Amino acid sequence: MSTLSNEQQNTKKPFFYGWIIVAACMLIQAIPFGVAMNVQPQFINFVTNGEGFTLTQFSLVFTIGTVVSAIASPSIGSILSKPKTNIKLAFLIGAILSGGGYALNSLADDNLWAYYGIAAIVQVGTAIISAIGVPLLVNSWFKNNKGIAMGIAFSGGGIGNIFLQQIAARLLTNPAIGYSKAYFIFGMISMAVGIPVALFLVKLPKSESDLAGNIINKKDETQIKHTATWGYTFKEVTTIKLFWIFCIGFIFVGFYVSGLSVQYISYLYSIGLNASFVANVGSIFAFFSIFGNLCGGILFDKLGIKKSLILAGLMVITCALLLIFLPSINALGYLFAALLGISMFAYIIGPSYLTGALFGDKEFGTILGIVQVFFALGYAIGTVIFGLSVENLGYTTSWIIILLYSVIAYSCLLISCIGIEKHNRDINVIDTKRIS
């Protein structure tokens, strides 16, 4: 009996902390990220009407915050990737900057420059804990089932957004609260979640033994050792022409995201739809983004990069078409929200998953930071262009332009990913063979 018990203990799979990391990342995406990124569009109409800003002026909040975050991202990625970095302290600082900064919006009043400065602080903090931090944590812990783990982690954004959209709509339309107090409330909520997660849940694996629980069989064990050491350096990546086409693709992804995912709320208000309808559309978007991220991770793992990107591209193009006809058929707003939510995996999971799959782990944080710069650049420039386009050409023409951005974006991504996959197969990279 004793011998049997010892054998059972020897064959028992060790506890894998990676799934705790996934849960921590879900919380980060649900609240701190959700507050910083998903709630802010709800404030646009209320702040512009209350303070007398134009749409273009206030849209620079997104632009400036994104540009500062983009500039900081490579450095953030490099710092977080260093073995000596105190990851808990880094995430603590990020949580305070993201949530505390958001609360400072309550003091901005009619000072447009204050909103700009605060946006920069918030986005740097959010980059630390989310845009760079979450992919780095998942990529560090998962060498198998990386897409599924990343999908679950990023699905937290959709889960949190279901409730955040409803809360935001009610706070903003409550005369006793208004947008200033709403900013403060959301900032406190962000820190109430982000700080404990940083202090008690976040950590990196210290050795291969920490990853043992993620090994399914001997074959996977070999793959883990291989994937842990394989990867391009950033210097090597810069010599690959297809890498730059890949980055350009994400510029155009940023262009369409700045219109579809951020400005659709203002569009719905502009055509006379009430706050309840807008909140419902926002919640549907949030609900389906959960499935988008979960299914997106599975799609990348099971169907491969090419088919997943084609599917996402078709959904995004359909979303732009639906917005064009939405004033005549308001119910199309619900279909738009569902498709946009599902397609969200392409720009939430896509940069980190594709970077890891195509370029490896050696300098993952630094390379991802550069990719995020291009996405952020597209997002920042796209926000300004979209605001000017709406003011001068109207929403219908602006949605047609967004449609063209989508076609260019997914054409670049498909061309570059297919080419890089082929190159990696030619040099016998196991990871790319598995995911192509």
Residue 6 has a pLDDT of 52
Distance CA 376, CA 78 (A): 18
Strand-pairing partners, residue 360, are 231
Task: Indicate the angle between helix axes 87-95 and 112-126, nearest 10 degrees.
Answer: 150
Q: State pTM to two decimals.
A: 0.74
> What pLDDT band is residue 226 in, cutting at 50, 70 and 90?
very low
Q: What three-state secondary structure class fits 330?
A: coil
Is 25 or 140 the better-scoring residue by pLDDT? 25
Produce one character per residue of 290-299: b if its CB has 16 or more CB atoms within 10 Å, e if not: bbbbbbbbbb
Tokens of 320: 């732009």
- For 353, list phi and psi in degrees, rounded to 5: -65, -50
| SS (HEC) of 399-427 | HHHHHHHHHHHHHHHHHHHHHHHHHHHHC
Tokens of 297: 């991770």
CB 349 within 8 A of CB 153: no
Tokens of 179: 């947008």
Distance CA 261, CA 94 (A): 24
Per-residue pLDDT tens digits for 364-399: 878 888 898 898 888 878 878 888 888 889 898 999
Tokens of 327: 């004033």
Tokens of 137: 């944590």
CB 13 within 8 A of CB 35: no
Q: What is the mean pLDDT of residues 154-160?
A: 83
> What pLDDT band is residue 87 in, cutting at 50, 70 and 90?
very high
Per-residue pLDDT tens digits for 131-142: 889 988 998 888
Residue 96 has a pLDDT of 97
pLDDT above 50: residue 190: yes
Tokens of 41: 């569009």
Strand-pairing partners, residue 231, are 360
Other C-beta atoms within 10 Å of 314: how many?
Answer: 14
Calculate Rg over the CA atoms of the chain.
22
> What pLDDT band is residue 113 in, cutting at 50, 70 and 90?
very high
Distance CA 6, CA 4 (A): 5
Q: What is the mean pLDDT of residues 61-85?
A: 84
Distance CA 399, CA 322 (A): 9
Residue 223 has a pLDDT of 44
87 phi-psi bin (left φ>0, alpha ψ -120 to 50, beta other):
alpha
Residue 220 has a pLDDT of 44
Distance CA 56, CA 65 (A): 15
Distances from the Cα of 152 to the Cα of 235, 287, 365, angstroms: 32, 14, 20
Q: What is the mean pLDDT of residues 287-306?
A: 82
% of residues, the chain, pLDDT over 70: 91
Q: What is the mean pLDDT of residues 44-71?
A: 85
pLDDT above 90: residue 187: yes
Task: Indicate the angle between helix axes 146-172 and 178-200, nearest 10 degrees.
Answer: 150
Residue 224 has a pLDDT of 40
Distance CA 305, CA 349 (A): 12
Distance CA 298, CA 83 (A): 30
Distance CA 104, CA 122 (A): 10
Amino acid at the residue 296:
G
